Chain A
């Protein structure tokens, strides 16, 4: 699998905007299947304990989807954590696809 991920967190007024970018670094096209409408997740940890997740508290349409990346192509996914308490955090993001994760991580403070 030639997909790589990168995650950035931008903090403003207690709201954290995550941007998770997935890029096909290889020479071949990559296509992934998703079991439902959830394309990705972003999970925030504080001292190793999960404190927030994009997907927790939500439900998703139960329809299969696919997404394709040409060589060098990127996709960007967002998530917003509103009213984040101040603290030091680590965030991890991954694709909710059946056969790839392209996991990425970043640290940030609020």
Chain B
């Protein structure tokens, strides 16, 4: 397959220009008074590196299981630490303080459906009386797996996101434990969802096969909420890295990351390496910078992570989907209906494509398959839908085929 070039949107051009500026001072250490304190993530090598990092730090707010810490120290000390050969990186951490909520009299940003002709937030479609098979779950032939008795039961799928609604009737039977690194405002559980995004992704990966609402790609996999994004859908590098590390330490099977940025983080890269070494299947949204080429965001672009692009119901590439050589597989992401706190709603994004693959990985790992085997199996069983390899990688996710079922008529 050949690459299909797409025009670079103005927004993408802006982003590139913006990140170029950011790159000049990506460290955030370039200027300011030397005694002023900065919060940084420090990656080190060996015990001497650890000792140097700990010694330089005024206070350490997080010690990762891999060789990194998040610490506060004077700007001058941070810059000096960079020159130490046992220090691999010193990067500025995202701000750790709460962000003021969006105060819009137009209400909170809602779904955007259909893209790009978005019409205002629709506030969801409320409750539903009977279960429906949504187009995305249908298109990847997950219903064939369900009909053959495959449920994903026994697999542990972590949703690293804004949390998961703790009492949604379509998710409750599958909820495992939760962990929060971002704060949840006005929530029952610390890992509850104060945004909608995480609950939506959880439903795609693994909504219960019952008599109501929607059904997920897995139907009985255990869904764990790892809250790394706040109510605005944003999270710091350190919090996200801590969430990835936590998933690895729990021995869970799948880490689904419907999040990203146009620039990466050495700390998060360390964390995904740590998790991959422990056998976690890592999957992430390629990003919504499209139409664009060679624009896959992070963490999707890391080699340990499966980058997922997004398709529409006619098998075309979603116009918003990022593309690039790192894309390994495509999955439905346009106009996806799934669970949200208090009901159901339709959202679009590579965020929605990612949990289709996470649910499929849950199905395979429930059968004892290793993460690396899952990765190769999902790719070799993907369906060619005529998109370029930079657009869909190996093709469209095919859950039935990955499990060894014939899905040619579905």
CB neighbours (8 Å) of A34 from chain B are: 109, 112
Give the A-B pair count, Cβ closer than 8 A: 204
B260 contacts the other chain (Cβ, under 8 Å)?
yes
Q: Is the CB–CB distance between B259 and A59 below 8 Å?
A: yes
Given the interface pairs A60-B261, A62-B287, A76-B103, the reply to whether A37 lies near B234 with Cβ below 8 Å is: yes
CB neighbours (8 Å) of A51 from chain B are: 25, 28, 30-32
Given the interface pairs A57-B265, A64-B349, the reply to whether A35 lies near B100 with Cβ below 8 Å is: no
Q: Is the CB–CB distance between A67 and B95 below 8 Å?
A: no
Interface string of A24-44 (1 = CB under 8 A from B): 000000010111111101010
Q: Is the CB–CB distance between B351 and A63 below 8 Å?
A: yes
Residues of A in contact with B, size category: 35 or more
B237 contacts the other chain (Cβ, under 8 Å)?
yes
Q: Is the CB–CB distance between B99 and A78 below 8 Å?
A: yes
Which residues between 115 and 129 of chain B lie within 8 Å of chain A, taking CB atoms?
115-116, 118-121
CB neighbours (8 Å) of B104 from chain A are: 67, 75-76
| Closest residue on chain B to residue A54 by CB atoms | B95
Tell me the minimal C-beta distance from B218 to chain A in angstroms. 21
Q: Is the CB–CB distance between B25 and A49 below 8 Å?
A: yes
CB neighbours (8 Å) of A55 from chain B are: 261
Tell me the minimal C-beta distance from A33 to chain B in angstroms. 5
Count of residues in B whose CB is under 8 Å from the partner chain? 81
Measured in the bound complex, the distance between the Cα atoms of B36 and A86 in whole Å is 9
Given the interface pairs A64-B347, A66-B121, the reply to whether A57 lies near B260 with Cβ below 8 Å is: no
Which residues between 19 and 44 of chain B lie within 8 Å of chain A, taking CB atoms?
21-22, 24-26, 28, 30-33, 36-39
Q: Is the CB–CB distance between B259 and A70 below 8 Å?
A: no
Interface string of B334-377 (1 = CB under 8 A from A): 00000000000001111110100000000000000000000000
Q: Is the CB–CB distance between B25 and A58 below 8 Å?
A: no
Q: Is the CB–CB distance between B102 and A63 below 8 Å?
A: no
Which residues between 51 and 108 of chain A lie within 8 Å of chain B, taking CB atoms?
51-70, 73-83, 85-87, 97-99, 101
Q: Is the CB–CB distance between B288 and A62 below 8 Å?
A: yes
| Closest residue on chain A to residue B38 by CB atoms | A83
Beyond A59-B268, A65-B112, list 20 extra A-B contacts (CB 8 Å): A19-B100, A47-B31, A59-B240, A59-B259, A60-B229, A61-B234, A61-B258, A61-B259, A63-B351, A64-B348, A64-B349, A67-B106, A75-B102, A75-B105, A76-B104, A80-B95, A80-B98, A83-B38, A87-B31, A98-B11
Residues of B within 8 A of A (CB): 9-11, 14, 18, 21-22, 24-26, 28, 30-33, 36-39, 75, 91-106, 109-112, 115-116, 118-121, 161-162, 195, 197, 200, 229, 232-237, 240, 258-261, 263, 265, 268, 285, 287-289, 297-299, 320, 347-352, 354
A-B contact pairs, 24 of them (CB 8 A): A31-B119, A37-B195, A37-B232, A49-B24, A53-B22, A56-B26, A56-B92, A57-B93, A58-B236, A58-B261, A59-B240, A59-B259, A59-B268, A61-B195, A65-B109, A65-B111, A67-B109, A76-B104, A79-B99, A79-B100, A80-B99, A85-B33, A85-B36, A86-B36
